[in-house]
Structure 1
Amino acid sequence: MNGSVWPDGKQVAVSLSFDDARDSQLDQGVPVLNACGAKGTFYLNVERATARAADWRAAAAAGHELGNHSLRHSCSGNFVWRVANVLENYTQEGMEEELLIANQQLTNLFGAVPRTFAYPCGQTFVGRGVGRQSYVPVVARHFLAGRGFRDEFYNRPEFVDLAKVGGTEMDGVPYDRLIAHIERAAANGQWVVLVGHDVLLDETRRQTVTPETLRRLCEYCLDSANGVWLETVATVAERVHQAQMNSIE
């Protein structure tokens, strides 16, 4: 793969993603993105998404991506708040069934099949001990891309496994550090997928990015002088997939 795969000579791709269909994303996050002319990716839990389905439809109509964040937000039972639906008790088959149910329910709500998935808690396993398995192959069968969380890498377009795209946390991260992530990735032509949860004015709250930080981040990414291609996870994943296919031919 020769040269940058990003359009118009851009040096780095950036995607802004948010998990859990939290109210603050609709109340604070989407308005900031819309005002800036930026598009985000929102990974939805069915129950929460149903409660404000009309607002999520409006977000989709504005160009934001709505992705799958599982049926039950299953994570490890080592989290003290997770006492049911723990990954240690799942099989690949059980997880696959739930992902397809969630896909169908989200399709029924919003009229489009989710194209990308975000692993709850960034965890990609089911089972325990000798029976422990990755469910990345399940995600690979049904989604264009699967996004991780708190990964220690940015994504190399020529190499990344789209079923396990690295995610970089933006909750509680100062603006300057977020820009540093982007600049480091730009030096190598990579793709940064930022991951947030709440969008709140109170920056001391857990799992929060402030509207002001989000606004400044969008403005930086949309300034052509900075060489950033800001797009949804699905749009960037499409381009990466095509570039990888072209390099094989």
Structure 2
Amino acid sequence: MKKIVFAVLSLVFSGTVLAQKSSVWNNKQCAVVLTYDDAIDIDLDNVIPALDSLKLRGTFYIIGSSPVVDKRLNEWRQAAKKGHELGNHALFHPCDASLPGRGWVQPDFDLSKYTVSRAVAEIRMNNTLLKAIDGKDKRTFAYPCGDLKVGGEFFYNQLKNDFVGARGVNASLLTPAETKLDNIDSYYIADQPAGYMIDLVKKAQQTHTLLVFLFHGVGGGHAINEDLSAHSKLLHYLKANEKDIWIAPMVEVAEKIKEYQAKSN
């Protein structure tokens, strides 16, 4: 009898946990966020048309100084009107040149030579630019190169009130309770087959977790590239399973997680 009662209680508890997690994901099995870095032509030429054709929305992390922002400002504005998020990827994309493999970093934008106040000021300037484009006050941030610190200090600590959340580069699937909004995990995608990406989505569905994809070039346009066909297959899988998967910009997902965590604390 005790075993039966325990089994019933376990099922009830599991169902409750599943219901809680699903409610965070808009009553679906999981959440998937498609993010694209660096504000490049390919975003406007390949990615946004592909997303729009399937009525899917993504997050585009914008470097304010990118010439593609200046030259194609109205197209970014139209993308925002269609529901895509214009996220903040800093004004000049500074990275820590003292780390291995960072010889490409320009001396003027070497994060290891920055002060925290300079990093924060440039990111806030980029927010001003982005608001001038899309008119929005809420957005998320993505760490350039995944670098979190200036002089050993977490510079985002001064920016927590400026953003709903910040995307990092560590790869894992997380529940709403496990997600750190100041460093949201993501899967870095470069030359991965469609099957790899779709399998990640299926795993997120099974575990009722958050899956964030991090893309740069899609079909060219960047040294870090993903095949256009593979990307298309991922999008079509997401669309075909939309009833079970919440596909939304990072800002919307982060807001849901923030609400959930506030109620849980």
The 5 Å alignment of 1:1-249 reads 2-3=17-18, 4=21, 5-8=24-27, 10-48=28-66, 49-78=69-98, 79-82=102-105, 83-113=107-137, 115-127=139-151, 132-149=152-169, 151-200=170-219, 206-224=223-241, 227-248=244-265
Alignment partners' CA distance in 1, 2:207 and 2:160: 26
Q: Deviations over 1:75-134 (max 9, x none)?
A: 01131111222111122222111111111122223322351011101111112xxxx112
Q: How far is the alpha carbon of 1:154 from its aligned partner?
A: 2.0
TM normalised by structure 1 equals 0.89
Q: How far is the alpha carbon of 1:201 from its aligned partner?
A: 5.9
Q: Deviations over 1:29-76 (max 9, x none)?
A: 111001111101001111221221011111111111111110110001
Alignment partners' CA distance in 2, 1:197 and 1:135: 24
Amino acid in structure 2 at the alignment position of 1:211: L
Q: Deviations over 1:220-249 (max 9, x none)?
A: 11223772211110111111111111222x
**Preserved contact between residue 107 and residue 114 of structure 1 (Cα < 8 Å):** no
Q: Deviations over 1:138-159 (max 9, x none)?
A: 332310010012x132232112
**Preserved contact between residue 139 and residue 146 of structure 1 (Cα < 8 Å):** no
Alignment partners' CA distance in 2, 1:208 and 1:216: 16
What count of residue pairs does the alignment treat as equivalent? 240
| Structure whose alpha-carbon radius of gyration is higher | 2
Alignment partners' CA distance in 1, 2:54 and 2:205: 22
Alignment partners' CA distance in 1, 2:74 and 2:252: 24
Which stretch has the larger CA shift, 231-240 or 44-53? 44-53
Alignment partners' CA distance in 2, 1:84 and 1:224: 46
| Structure 1, unpaired ranges of 5+ | none
CA 1:139–1:178: 2 relative to 1, 3 Å: farther
Tell me which stretches of 4 or more aligned residues in structure 1 moved more than 6 Å.
none
Note the aligned Cα RMSD (angstroms).
Answer: 1.9
